[in-house]
Amino acid sequence: MHLSVRTLALPAAALAAALSLTACQSSSDPDAAPAPAPTSASPRQTTGTDPTAEATPTTAAPDPTRTTAPATAPTKTPPKKTARPTQAPAPSSTPADGAGGDDDARPLRPCTAQDVKVVASKVSRPINHLALTITNTGGRTCDALGAPLVGFDHSQAPIRIMEESKPQAVVTLAPGESAYASVLLTGEPGGPGEDTHGMTVRTVKVNLTADSMKTVPAPEGTFVDDGAAVSYWQRELEDALQF
């Protein structure tokens, strides 16, 4: 019985020695691969994706068979010019016969007996002249057209008009303004004019238009003959007395 126990103890001791030797060799072997360390899942890891992997943009490879036309700047089309309508000039008023041209475009409005005051006065120079003055006493502008038609007393025909006195423009009278005409007297009482059917007159008839006449007193001793004449209306008295 004692002999069998020793026999069993010897193999057990040999087995323990073999295991110890194997452990020493494993720890001292430099070529042995270390056991992998356990890894813990990252909290950022999502199902089916690698949290450490960076997204790389995908660039499509150019198609060698496709031709890209160079960009061309758009061509600007110049705007079409629109022809402007031609405006016809405004018709200008035609002055009455014997009147000069009117500078403004307004229609002419002849001065009438209702618009003006008429005065006949004798002047010292030149001799044998009367001065006719018309003054606009109305509230509107009027035009002294042409020359007045002048007669004396009961004469039927007007005296001659001196065409050389025609002005370059119609004389326009604003309220309060005046125009002038001269009446040429060709004789004095007792002078040579008495042989040409001369007479002393008392009144002067002034026709401003064909149907507008004023009769005013003639200066005392006014003597006229068949050669009497009248000028056109003038802006200044000095201009009228030149004729």
Reported as a single tens digit per residue, the pLDDT across 134-187 is 999 999 999 999 999 999 999 989 999 999 999 999 999 999 999 999 999 985
Q: Where in the chain does DSSP place strands (E)?
A: 116-122, 129-136, 142-144, 149-152, 160-161, 171-173, 178-184, 199-200, 203-209, 212-217, 223-224, 229-230
Question: Which residue in the block uniquely carries the two structure tokens 């004469």?
Answer: 155
Domains of the chain: 116-240 (2.60.40)
Q: According to the model, what pLDDT value does residue 197 have?
A: 78
Rounded to an integer, the average pLDDT of 20-31 is 45
Query: How much is the mean pLDDT over the chain?
Result: 72
Q: Are strands 142-144 and 171-173 parallel, antiparallel or unpaired?
A: antiparallel
The model's pTM: 0.56
Give the H/E segment covering residue 19: helix 2-28
pLDDT above 70 covers a percentage of the chain that reads: 53
C-alpha to C-alpha distance for 105 and 99, rounded to whole angstroms: 15
Q: According to the model, what pLDDT value does residue 106 have?
A: 79
Residue 120 contacts by C-beta under 8 Å, 6 or more apart in sequence?
Answer: 130, 131, 132, 183, 204, 206, 216, 217, 218, 219
